[in-house]
Amino acid sequence: MNKTLLIVMVVAAALVLGIGAGYAVSRVLPTPAQFMMGDNANTLPYDRSNADAYRSDGSWLPERMGRYSGRMGARGGMHGGMIPWTSSNNTTGERISMDDALAQAEAYAGEIGDNLRVSEVMEFSRNFYAIVIETDSGRGAMELLIDPYSGTVSPEGGPNMMWNAKYSHMRWQSGGGENTLSVSEAMAAAQQALDEQLPGAVLEEHGTEFYGYYSFDYSLAGEIAGMLSVNGTDAEVWFHNWHGEFIGEKEIE
């Protein structure tokens, strides 16, 4: 057999085997999108490999539940992720005060609309969080994060970005953001999620209705431990697991 022809045949066979093996592997391993957003995301256990997800006593922090996503029976599911939606990665220097964070959030809201004001500010270890409401309707408009060192304000990610049908640039929902779920139905879905993923956690009675979803705080042993949101159409639950530990809050009349 011609030596050149033999070499060509060997190379062709190697390529076929390589492509076939690669295709077989690709059929087994999920793509990054499938891993984070597809069915795999609804069966993965909570990843406790991050040591930062534990308290000093060894218990894990519920607000750092990683990328767990579970099923909630016939309706909805759960989201969560270690997504640092803060304005910067600065973690040194002097932290701004609650009043400073409030002033920054109010200035931000005022630039967006004359009918917007801040109704609540919460301080966490990683950021300040603010709720902005409409003064004419009393309804929640948006959720903001304030960098605890620079004071920079930015829209919160997660539900505020993906589900807010009026004030987000990423309006995925139709219908003007009118929630088909009542607040009691949303609370029931939220408590079910807590019962399944964080036994002993109790949903706070008063939440905020936004255009497309609801947001609620929840507590453990009588202390605020975290926050979650419920989609106003399909009862999907999304844990706000990027705040860190709760420090304090201030409600504005």
Question: What is the average per-residue pLDDT within 66-71?
Answer: 31
Structure tokens at 173: 């929902």
pLDDT of 215 reads 98
Helices (H) and strands (E) in the chain, counts: 5, 11
Q: Are 86 and 155 in contact (CB under 8 A)?
A: no
More confident residue, 189 or 77: 189
Residue showing tokens 């209705």: 209
More confident residue, 124 or 27: 124
What is the overall mean pLDDT for the chain?
74
Does the pTM surpass 0.85? The reply is no
Rounded Cα distance, 45 and 217, in Å = 23
pLDDT of 37 reads 30
pLDDT of 34 reads 29
pLDDT band with cut points at 50, 70 and 90 for residue 119: very high
| 32-36, 58-62, 149-153, 203-207, range with greatest mean pLDDT | 149-153
